[in-house]
């Protein structure tokens, strides 16, 4: 992917994030904003807002969840350990608890994501359908131990971890595997340790 394409994609990700932040700001003011209100607050056109979100409901659901995800610096501000497993378990615990506390909204967000993904496939759009909230946390968790892994192994490890953390992982452990909460956390912790060990063996 060349620099021009990457730049355009980064701009699209920023535009989507700006819409979510605008919705959160208006919500904090006690408003029930329309998509047009949010677009105006985000300094984009109404048409642009509709390209990113099919409805104001989809935008407001995700905006409410977006503010719940902690900043990576804040999450690890008082972290005593540089051990990647311990730090990744911290990320998983935070995401797991957020998903559990907001499960109906998380499932609704998944519905909107799947619908948007189908529409994107049909019209060939490259508008992002999701914010990548988990990767900054995963990368921050692994940062002190980057020297322990080859660059390719570190990249694959980060991507593999993203498969088991977050809403989709919760759907698998609850709906597909039908695990209770304690069992779900245990399985994900096992997977985190196994993935880190596998990545270390790649060095």
- Per-residue pLDDT of 121-165, as tens digits, reads 666 667 777 778 899 999 999 999 999 999 999 999 999 999 999
Q: Where are the domains of the chain?
A: 1-67, 70-203
Tokens (6 digits) for 152: 């390719």
Q: Is 4's pLDDT higher than 80? A: no
Quickly count: other Cβ atoms within 10 Å of residue 18's Cβ. Answer: 19
Q: Of 14-23, 51-60, 169-178, where does mean pLDDT reach its minimum?
A: 51-60
What is the rounded CA–CA span in Å between residue 162 and residue 99? Answer: 14
Question: In this predicted model, what pLDDT tens digit does every residue of 54-89 receive, in sequence order?
Answer: 888 888 888 888 878 888 888 998 877 899 999 999
Question: In this predicted model, what pLDDT tens digit does every residue of 25-46 receive, in sequence order?
Answer: 988 888 789 999 999 999 999 8
Quickly count: other Cβ atoms within 10 Å of residue 195's Cβ. Answer: 20
As a whole number, mean pLDDT of residues 162-188 equals: 94
User: What is 1-67's CATH number?
Assistant: 1.10.10
Specify burial of residue 13 (Cβ count, 10 A radius: 0-12, 13-18, 19+). middle
Nearest to 28 by CA among 44, 41, 45: 41
pLDDT of residue 177: 95
**Does residue 56 contact residue 34 with C-beta atoms inside 8 Å?**
yes
pTM of the model: 0.81
């Amino acid at each position: 992917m060349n620099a021009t394409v990457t730049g355009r994609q980064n701009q699209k990700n920023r535009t989507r994030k700006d819409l979510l932040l605008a919705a959160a700001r208006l919500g904090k003011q006690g408003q029930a904003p329309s998509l047009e209100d949010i677009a105006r607050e985000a300094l984009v056109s109404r048409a642009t807002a509709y390209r990113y979100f099919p409805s104001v409901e989809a935008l407001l659901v995700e905006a409410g969840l977006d503010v719940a995800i902690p900043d990576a610096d804040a999450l690890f501000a008082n972290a005593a350990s540089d051990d990647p497993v311990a730090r990744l378990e911290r990320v998983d615990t935070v995401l797991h608890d957020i998903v559990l506390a907001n499960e109906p909204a998380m499932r609704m967000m998944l519905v909107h994501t799947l619908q948007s993904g189908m529409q994107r496939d049909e019209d060939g759009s490259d508008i992002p359908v999701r914010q990548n909230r988990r990767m900054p946390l995963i990368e921050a968790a692994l940062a002190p131990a980057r020297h322990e892994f080859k660059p390719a192994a570190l990249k694959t490890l980060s991507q593999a971890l993203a498969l088991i953390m977050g809403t989709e992982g919760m759907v698998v452990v609850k709906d597909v595997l039908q695990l209770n909460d304690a069992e779900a956390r245990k399985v994900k912790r096992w997977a985190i340790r196994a993935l880190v060990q596998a990545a270390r063996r790649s060095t």
